[in-house]
Structure 1
C-alpha cells in the first residue's frame, strides 16, 4: 500500500485546554480524513462517559467527513498500570481497558491503543513481564471477539521496564501470541531510545500497524513538525519502502502548543502533505 495524504491523522491531546468540538472543528477545517481520539478529561474520560456518548461522538466525527483511526484512553498516569505488582491497581487497569474496548466499538474506532505499564524498578523485570503478558492476553482475547485491534506502544525506560525498544516490543508481541495485537511506532519515542524507523520495521515487520508521526528532539518531546530534528521525508520514505499503510497520527503533547493548538496542527499537516502524494 502506498502512503498518501489520506493517511494523515489529527489527535486531540494538545487541545486539552479547549473543548473537544474545537479540535473537531479545526480538524474538519484542515480537511483531515482521520482522527485519533485521546480519551481523557475534559474531552472523553471513561469515568464520565457512556456508550451512548461514544456512539454520539462517532456519529459527530463521521458527519464531518472524518473517520477514527484509533481510540487512545489516557493510561500513562496514575492510576492505570497493566503490569503493576499491586493486584488492585492491575485489576482496575484491566477493567479500564475492557471498558475502553467497548467504547472503541461504539464510537466506530477499529482499534484501541494500549501500553505495557511497568513493574517496580527494584523488582525483577521478569515478574512484571509475565503480568503484562497475562493482562494483554486477556485484552487481546476480548478484542478479537469484538473485531477490534490492539495497538501496543513501547514506553520510555523511565516509564516502563517491560518494553522500551522495538526489539522488546516484538518480544512482548510474540509472548502474547495474539492475531489481534499489533505493534506501533512513535517517532519521538524512537528518537529518545536512539532508534530509527528501520529498527521498528525490522523488528515488527507486518505487525507494524500504527504510527505516531511527530517531530522531536533528543529529549523525546512530541513537537509540531519543523520544531525538532526529524525529517518527515526520510520517515515517510522508510515507511513507504516497508509497505506500511496505516495512519500517520500527529500526537503533539508539548505544553508550548496548548494555547494555540490549531497553528501547531496546521503546520504539521502542511509538512506531511508536502512529502505525501494525494490519494
Structure 2
C-alpha cells in the first residue's frame, strides 16, 4: 500500500515545505489540494505548474492525486443555476487538464450539498448530468476521475457505497471510479469493507484517518474511536495494494509538519503490527 500526504493542512505554509516533509517523513506520494496558495487550477494554467514540476523533480516524490476544492465557495456543481453548474463543470475539466499535466494518476471529485429544498429526483438528475459530462471528458483526455462519497454532515448527494454503485450503474466509463474516505461510512454506521464488495474493481483509492464517530472531523490515526488496527488487518487480508492518503485537513493546521510526521508514524505502526 502506498501512503500519500494531503496538502490542505499546509495551506498556511509553502508548497516547498510540503514536498520537503513528504520526502523526509517517508510518504510515497502527494495528493495535491487544488486551491490557493498551492494548486488552484487557474494559477497552474497561468504558469505556477512549472514550479510544482520542479519540486516533484527536486524531491523525487510524485503527485498521484489532484483534488480540486469543489464543495464550497465558489464551486459546487450541485447547487445554483444552470450557468453556475456549467461553470463548475468547466472548473473540473480544467482541473483534470492540470492534473494530467502534473503527471497525476487521478483527479478526485465529490458532490457538494444540493440544498435543503432539492428533491431526490432533482438531486440525481443533476448529479448524473454532471457525472456524464465529466466522464466523457475523462475519456477524451484519458485521465481517471475518482468520485468520493462525503459524510452526511457535508452533503446530501453521494454519501454511501450504495450511492457510488448507483452512479456507476447509470454512468458507465472505464475512467470513472470510486473510493472510500473511512470517516464517511463510520459516522453513519455503514461497514467500511462493504465498499470493496459493492464496488469491486471500481474501488480505486482510500482516505485513511481516525474519527470521533459523531462529526466529519478527520482525526490523527490511532487517536480517535475507529478500530483502525483491525481495519488495516482486513485490508491486508484482501490484499489491498492501491493508494491511501492520510487526509489531515485543517484540524492540525497550526503545526502541519509535526502532525504529518506523527500521522505516518502512527499509520506505519499499524501496517507493521
Deviations 1:231-270 (A, max 9, x none): 3322222223334322110111243x11111121111111
Cα distance 1:212–1:121, how it changes in 2: closer, same or farther (>3 A)? same
Instruction: Provide the residue aligned with 1:25 in structure 2.
Output: 20
- The gaps in structure 1 that reach 5 residues or longer are none
Counterpart-to-counterpart distance in 1, 2:238 and 2:82: 40
- The gaps in structure 2 that reach 5 residues or longer are none
Q: Is the 1:35–1:68 contact (alpha carbons within 8 Å) kept by the matching residues of 2?
A: yes
Q: Is the 2:109–2:148 contact (alpha carbons within 8 Å) kept by the matching residues of 1?
A: yes
1:234 and 2:234 equivalent?
no
CA RMSD of aligned residues (A): 1.9
Instruction: Provide the residue aligned with 2:39 in structure 1.
Output: 44
How many residue pairs get aligned? The number is 272
Report the TM-score when normalising by structure 1.
0.91
Moved over 6 A (4+): none
1:66-145 residue pairs with structure 2 within 5 A? Answer: 66-145=61-140
Instruction: Provide the residue aligned with 1:164 in structure 2.
Output: 159
Counterpart-to-counterpart distance in 2, 1:225 and 1:144: 36
Q: Is the 2:113–2:154 contact (alpha carbons within 8 Å) kept by the matching residues of 1?
A: yes
1:223 and 2:219 equivalent?
yes
Counterpart-to-counterpart distance in 1, 2:80 and 2:119: 11
Deviations 1:123-159 (A, max 9, x none): 2111221211111111111112222111100122243
Counterpart-to-counterpart distance in 2, 1:158 and 1:126: 21
Instruction: Provide the residue aligned with 1:249 in structure 2.
Output: 245
Report the TM-score when normalising by structure 2.
0.93
Counterpart-to-counterpart distance in 1, 2:239 and 2:170: 25
Q: Is the 1:149–1:182 contact (alpha carbons within 8 Å) kept by the matching residues of 2?
A: yes
Q: Is the 1:56–1:107 contact (alpha carbons within 8 Å) kept by the matching residues of 2?
A: no
SS of the residue corresponding to residue 225 of structure 1 reads coil
